[in-house]
Amino acid sequence: MSARGRVEMTGTSAIARLRSALLGLSTRIAEARGEDEVCKSVVEGLRTEAFGFDAVGLYLAGSSAFDPRLKASAGPFGTGASVAVSELKLPLKVGQSAIGELVVQRDRTRAFEKGDMEIAAAAASQASIAIARARLIEAERTRTTEQRALLDTLQDLSGELELERLLQIVLERAVSLLGVTGGELAVFDEESEELVVLASHNMPTDAVGTRMQLGEGAMGHAGITHESLIIPNYQAWEGRSPQYTDAVVQAVMVAPLMIGSRLVGAIASVHSDPTREFGEADLRLLNLFAAQSAIAIENARLYSAERERASEQQALIDTLADLSAELELTKLLDSVLRRATALLGIDAGELAIYEEDKKELVIVASHNMPTDERGTRMALGEGAMGHVAETHEPLCIPRYQEWEGRSGKYTQTEIQSAMAMPLLIGSRLVGVIGSVHSDARREFSEADLRKLAMFAPQAALAIDKARLFEAEKRRAAEQQAVLDTMRDLSGELELSKVLHGVIERAVALLGVAGGELATFDQTSARRWRASRPPRARRAPSIARGSTSDATASASLQPRSCSPRW
């Protein structure tokens, strides 16, 4: 074999190794589970001999400030100004936000080339996507765990509907957990604006039934300020209640029972040991029980309302469980709409996705509507959904046909009342969900609006996640198709097969009817042509000619065009 042939084989082999290394790097990153594993896969994958990097490091920023710290490294990675190496640094970004930095190092005598930059940039892009995905999954896992713990607590409380018994159980648990002598729990009577003690445990005197004005004693103070309070020496405290002058009560800790900004009551715990003091950890635990006590009181006071709310929450949780497992966008959109109509007990509805580039809504799901408007586009401000998309505010319309802002697309329908809710992630519009009644006697209530408001943010997150997933899946499929093409053609040296392989792959990848590819010979002004016509048309042909010093061009035909141009 000639020296030129050996050089060509060596170059081909190096390219093949590089392609194999790139494919291996992508695979390792894609298969990594969790943020730490992703970082490790990136640095170790880039240390492959085919890339020629001496060392690789990956930095990630903190959650509260951009203070990158070394998360993973491979090879003799050095840090600091004294390190005598050449460095190539690339940012890791999620959207427009920087989350870290990828650093590759090489001996100072070996400069980085354009190909090195492209490899590192591709790795940084894949790493950013994989890290964002891992963080999203971890956040969802943490949220699920927290929600499960909350649901377990609420389940325990919802099983007891007798107010006094329930409050006694809550108070005894608080006393036991805090390790205190005793405690009391009072509820707020909104009519008389007084606190009424309804539970007492291990106190010197049983004060159940005692009424206190707001501002009176420790619980009255918490009731009027809506703030927790620690009193190291209650007997020396100038605000003590005359009802608790017994010297047994020494240190006192009290927390208000709040639902939002509304006062429900107050819970207090006391020590009889003068040497014992309450700390911040004690107060945190008491606040935890205070929140649960507030919920318990509402459950007992408003039994029917709370039962309905529990049913709504369970339906929402079931919906979220189903939606979180569905990543196929079309199925997810239909599922979101069906769940919403079932949750509200309404006749029909529609769901539209907002297209940011066109500033339009596109109806993508329809359930039991008089006409199926899927595919219909609506401008911002058009109809109920367009109005909601423009204002980012929910809207209830008791008489849609009489509403001056109704869309011309719905003037001939049986729609009577309508309600629309924006699907938002923060301030970013994802879409709008609309629900309608055909019964003129039925109107949407504040309760209906509240239900949909609970559902909409979670639906928006699920839709956004599915759209991201489909985009990433499509991008991954395209990248895989390109890699497969490069792999298949890299070992083929017969020109006609290469040309046909290229055009066949391009037509399949783009999903078009056919295409042609030609190479130009500058010395003879003749062309090589590879053609892949639409099926059932003429067979592919090749116009033979010289191929030396050729430049290539490719054209792909639309379905409605002639196969020749």
- List where CATH 3.30.450.40 sits in the chain: 18-140, 163-301, 328-461
Instruction: Give the single-character DSSP code of 216.
Output: S
Q: Which pLDDT score is estimated for 4?
A: 44
> Which pLDDT tens digit goes with each residue over 521-534?
666 655 555 555 65
The answer on pLDDT for 508 being more than 80 is no
Q: How far apart are CA 173 and CA 180, in angstroms?
A: 11
CATH of range 18-140; options 3.30.450.40, 3.40.50.620, 3.20.20.70, 3.40.50.1000: 3.30.450.40
Identify which of 106-120, 341-355, 456-470 has the greatest average pLDDT: 106-120
Residue 367: band (very low, low, confident or very high) from pLDDT cuts 50, 70, 90: confident
Helix (H, G, I), strand (E, B), or coil: what is residue 360? strand
Superfamily the domain 328-461 falls into: GAF domain (3.30.450.40)
Spatial neighbors of 63 by CB under 8 A, at least 6 apart, are none
In terms of C-beta density within 10 A (0-12 exposed, 13-18 middle, 19 or more buried), how is residue 122 classed? middle
Nearest to 86 by CA among 124, 121, 127, 54: 54
What residue type is assigned to position 158 of the chain?
S
How far is residue 62 CA from its own chain's centroid? 19
Cα–Cα distance list, 341 to 169, 351, 369, 423, 465 (Å): 39, 11, 12, 15, 22
| Residue 43 confidence (pLDDT) above 50 | yes
Q: What is the mean pLDDT of the chain?
A: 78
Farthest CA pair distance, the chain: 113
With residue 553 as reference, give the H or E element that holds it. strand 550-557
What lies within 8 Å, CB to CB, of 38 at 6+ separation is: 29, 32, 127, 130, 131, 134
Amino acid 157: pLDDT: 64
Q: Is the pTM of this model over 0.85?
A: no
What is the model's pLDDT at position 204? 81
Specify the pLDDT at position 373: 83
pLDDT at 64 exceeding the cut of 60: no
Q: List, in order, residues 6 or more apart from 532 with CB less than 8 Å away.
A: 500, 503, 504, 507, 514, 515, 516, 540
d(CA 514, CA 389): 41
Q: How many CA atoms lie within 13 A of 301 on its CB side?
A: 14
CB-CB contact of 157 with 292 (8 Å):
yes
Report the pLDDT value the prediction gives residue 37, as an integer from 0 to 100.
92
Q: Please state the rounded mean pLDDT for residues 127-141.
A: 88
pLDDT range class, residue 547, cuts 50, 70, 90: very low
Please check whether residue 294 is in contact with residue 259, taking contact to mean a CB–CB distance below 8 angstroms: yes
CA–chain centroid gap for 153, Å, is 25
CATH of 163-301, one of 3.30.1370.60, 2.40.50.140, 1.10.287.10, 3.30.450.40: 3.30.450.40
- Answer for the pair 452, 464: CB distance below 8 angstroms, yes or no: no
First-to-last CA distance in the chain? Answer: 43
Q: What would the mean pLDDT of 509-522 be, rounded to a whole number?
A: 77
How many of the other CB atoms lie within 10 Å of CB of 435? 27
Please give the full DSSP string across 96-150, using - where no structure is assigned.
TEEEEEEEEEEETTS---HHHHHHHHHHHHHHHHHHHHHHHHHHHHHHHHHHHHH
Higher pLDDT, 402 or 181: 181
| Residue 375 scores a pLDDT above 80 | yes
Tell me the β-bridge partners of 521: 526, 550
For range 81-104, the mean pLDDT: 85
Q: Residue 507's pLDDT is what? A: 80
Contacts of residue 339, defined as CB under 8 A and 6 or more positions apart, other chains included, come to 315, 319, 322, 323, 455, 459
For the stretch 448-463, pLDDT in tens is: 888 788 778 877 887 7
Q: How would residue 195 be classed by pLDDT, with cut points 50, 70 and 90?
A: very high
Average of per-residue pLDDT across 111-136: 90
The CA-atom distances, in angstroms, between 400 and each of 80, 145, 435, 448, 483 are: 68, 43, 12, 17, 54
CA distance linking residue 407 with residue 92, whole number of Å: 45
**Per-residue pLDDT at 492 exceeds 60:** yes
